[in-house]
Amino acid sequence: MSILKALWPLRTAETPAPPAPLPEAPPPGPKEPADVSQGPFRALVESLPDPVLVIEGDPDEPAARRIVFANAAARDLLPGRLEGMRLVTALRNPELLEAVDEALLGAPGSAQMETGGAQERVWAVQTRPLGQGEFGRLALLTLRDETDVRRAERMRVDFLANASHELRTPLASLTGFIETLRGHARDDEAARDTFLGIMQAQAERMRRLIDDLMSLSRIELNEHIAPEGRLDLALAVTDVLDALVPLVREKNLSIGNEMPARGAAEIEGDRDQILQVIQNLVENAVKYSSNGGALEISVAAPVRDDSAAPPRDAAATRMTLLSPDRTQGRRFALLRVTDHGPGIPRDRLPRLTERFYRVEGQKSGGLRPGTGLGLAIVKHIVNRHRGGMAVESAEGHGASFTVWLPLSEKDVADRDER
Ligand code: ADP
């Protein structure tokens, strides 16, 4: 039996062939899609995940193109009883119709089609000639959902464009100052000192950007590999705070902290990465606090999730930026960093962990400007550790960032035994 015969559900005694000229209404036929038991090939095509259609028609008579077979995926995608329906009634995309005509003429074709609705989707369309049918020439039409591939491609292109733009700005400034120093400022000693200072700051900025980009790509590379090692989250916070003393002094900030008993917040994790999470969150809190302000940093364990942390205040909006692994019985150590800086407008909260995203109009309190990558790095690290992340903020009321990380299994078992 040929493949075509095996696929052929329509030309049976119950479904007479449409007379020429073809009628508007689909020919009468069984209500249910044709029985898949008609052959192994039909069952196979029927169960393919991609929509597959067979079109019969005459390329010189576009109105006569009819669908003579549609598999389950095609029936899910397109409304109505497809078999017997005119192709233009089901699919109006001109590029697709042209590709079908090409196949009816004997050459393979391809097209791209977008479908709207609640969720926009992009489809790659392929057509192939299938030879002569009973009432006209036949063409195979397959659709492949390429929405995710296109989205990933767009993200990659946007990322490259953003990264180059971010690097180009300080580079342009450096080049400008070099030209000035070689030109009219050549003998101006005071100008030279000022310009060299600015050049150093710009070179620093480029270095920070490259460091952050490298970190992000390293983290992404092993994001699917569970971290090895154990550490006490509370001790890690203390280490980071010790290292940030000069920054905290510079802004004359007071830091309140609340820590659990030693060993209570033992987590499974990559120490360097966890230190980076804490550092990025605390650095932001310092950066966006005004001089003489106050920060609160707390660690709590064991907790079931971040609901253990009391809400900040009535004005603040809370948003989950990353949901943790909620495997039954999982318990977490929770880190919370709170500042009383400018806060973040409610509508900006969902975008905070996007790469290079910065809330416009915010001043970083005289400290070095950020790269817009800090929170993206935090999110990827926490994701690798199967933890969660949330923010609470209201414009003008400061911000609280909360991260919760799974406690080490052994630690939980020991505690349960006690
Ligand atoms: P950056 O390096 O620019 O700080 P991040 O990814 O760490 O990048 O943060 C992204 C943006 O989120 C910041 O540019 C800032 O606009 C906002 N933001 C982050 N933390 C705070 C905070 N504690 N208070 C107010 N705004 C913040």
Could you report the per-residue pLDDT of 365-400, keeping only the tens digit for each?
A: 555 568 899 999 999 999 999 999 999 998 988 999
Average pLDDT value over all residues in the chain:
86
Backbone torsion region of residue 320, taken as left when φ is above 0, otherwise alpha when ψ lies between -120 and 50, otherwise beta: beta
Rg (CA), the chain: 31
Q: Which residue owns the Cα nearest ligand 1 atom 2?
A: 370
The confidence score (pLDDT) of residue 384 equals 96
List C-alpha distances in Å: 214 to 218, 240, 365: 6, 21, 26
Cβ of 362 closer than 6 Å to ligand 1, yes or no, is yes
Fold for the domain defined by 37-145: Beta-Lactamase (3.30.450)
User: What is the percentage of the chain residues whose pLDDT exceeds 70?
Assistant: 86
Q: What is the CATH number of domain 226-417?
A: 3.30.565.10
What tokens appear for 107 in the block?
A: 């050459």
The arithmetic mean of pLDDT across residues 330-341, rounded, is 94
The residue extents of the domains of the chain are: 37-145, 147-225, 226-417
Nearest CA among 374, 407, 406 for reference residue 279: 374
Cβ of 348 closer than 6 Å to ligand 1, yes or no, is no
Would you place residue 82 in the very low, low, confident or very high pLDDT band (cuts 50, 70, 90)? very high
**Least reliable range by pLDDT among 71-75, 277-281, 328-332, 340-344:** 328-332
Cβ of 233 closer than 6 Å to ligand 1, yes or no, is no
The confidence score (pLDDT) of residue 1 equals 45
The DSSP code sequence of 48-76 is -SS-EEEEEEETTEEEEEEEEEE-HHHHH
Position 51: which residue type?
A: P
* Site of tokens 């580079």: 171
Cβ of 352 closer than 6 Å to ligand 1, yes or no, is yes
Cβ of 344 closer than 6 Å to ligand 1, yes or no, is yes
Phi, psi of 33 (to 5 degrees): -55, 155
**Contacts with 414 (C-beta within 8 Å, 6 or more apart), sequence order:** none
> How many Å apart are CA 182 and CA 188, to the nearest integer?
11
Cβ of 387 closer than 6 Å to ligand 1, yes or no, is no
Tell me the range of 1-10, 62-71, 336-345 where mean pLDDT is highest. 336-345
Tell how far the Cα of 260 is from the centroid of ligand 1, in angstroms. Answer: 27
What tokens appear for 76 in the block?
A: 């899910």
Instruction: Report pLDDT digits (tens) over 248-277.
Output: 999 999 999 999 998 899 999 999 999 999
Better-predicted residue by pLDDT, 10 or 378: 378
9: burial class by Cβ within 10 Å (0-12, 13-18, 19+)? buried
Fold for the domain defined by 147-225: Helix Hairpins (1.10.287)
Cβ of 290 closer than 6 Å to ligand 1, yes or no, is no
Cβ of 286 closer than 6 Å to ligand 1, yes or no, is no
**Contacts with 134 (C-beta within 8 Å, 6 or more apart), sequence order:** 11, 17, 56
Tell how far the Cα of 154 is from the centroid of ligand 1, in angstroms. Answer: 24
Tell how far the Cα of 300 is from the centroid of ligand 1, in angstroms. Answer: 24
What tokens appear for 222 in the block?
A: 């092993």
Q: Which residue owns the Cα nearest ligand 1 atom 11?
A: 358
